[in-house]
Amino acid sequence: MEIDSLIRAIPDFPIPGILFRDITPLLKDKQGFRRAIDLFVERFKGRGIDYVVAMEARGYIFGAPIAYALGAGFIPVRKPGKLPYERLSEEYALEYGTNTLEVHSDAIGKGDRVLVVDDLLATGGTAAATARLLRRLGATVEAYAFLVELTALRGRAALTDAEVVAFVSY
């Protein structure tokens, strides 16, 4: 199954000039969604991943089932003000602004091997900020994995510390 056929392009969303890659048709399609999750799992099974770390919100859609299938824990990275316990924060740049991410201070331990998962790689700012948070906690980022990569935005350049995998590129 070609999962890229289930991703639609929406021009001028969320702001003029952005071509948004909408994954909701893929999520709706039973076989397409299963195939997408299987691509991640096939690539990373047997790699000794302790935790799958995913960023709010669409990263959770992929991160949790991938963690389950790999037999790993799942760590959510959230937007500010959403986590109830002690947390670390990191600001990052988007292709159209800035934002901040947070993780619980006890989410990951020294030497834990993590897979960072998100739906889309654009500038790499979100994943790089997540990796900075994880390194501050002592974790090792084994790889970054994305369903979609927007190659023109050169996000891989921000993620030079580990393997970068994307299954669909535009």
- Euclidean distance between CA atoms 11 and 21, whole angstroms: 9
Residue 91: give its domain's CATH number: 3.40.50.2020
- Residue range 101-126: mean pLDDT, rounded: 96
Considering the domain boundaries, does residue 160 fall inside one? yes
Considering the domain boundaries, does residue 40 fall inside one? no
| Predicted pLDDT at 94 | 66
Catalytic: which of 58, 113, 132, 156? 58
Q: How far is CA 51 from CA 23, 65, 100, 151, in A?
A: 24, 12, 21, 27
Say how many domains are in the chain.
1
What is the domain extent for residue 58?
46-169
For 27-70, what is each residue's pLDDT tens digit? 999 999 999 999 999 999 999 999 999 999 999 999 999 999 99
Considering the domain boundaries, does residue 134 fall inside one? yes
Beta bridge partners of 21: 9
Considering the domain boundaries, does residue 54 fall inside one? yes
Considering the domain boundaries, does residue 154 fall inside one? yes
Considering the domain boundaries, does residue 22 fall inside one? no
95 is catalytic: yes
Considering the domain boundaries, does residue 13 fall inside one? no
78 is catalytic: no
Average pLDDT, the chain: 95
- Residue range 126-135: mean pLDDT, rounded: 96
Percentages (nearest 5) of helix, strand, coil residues in the chain: 35, 35, 30
Catalytic: which of 95, 113, 132, 156? 95
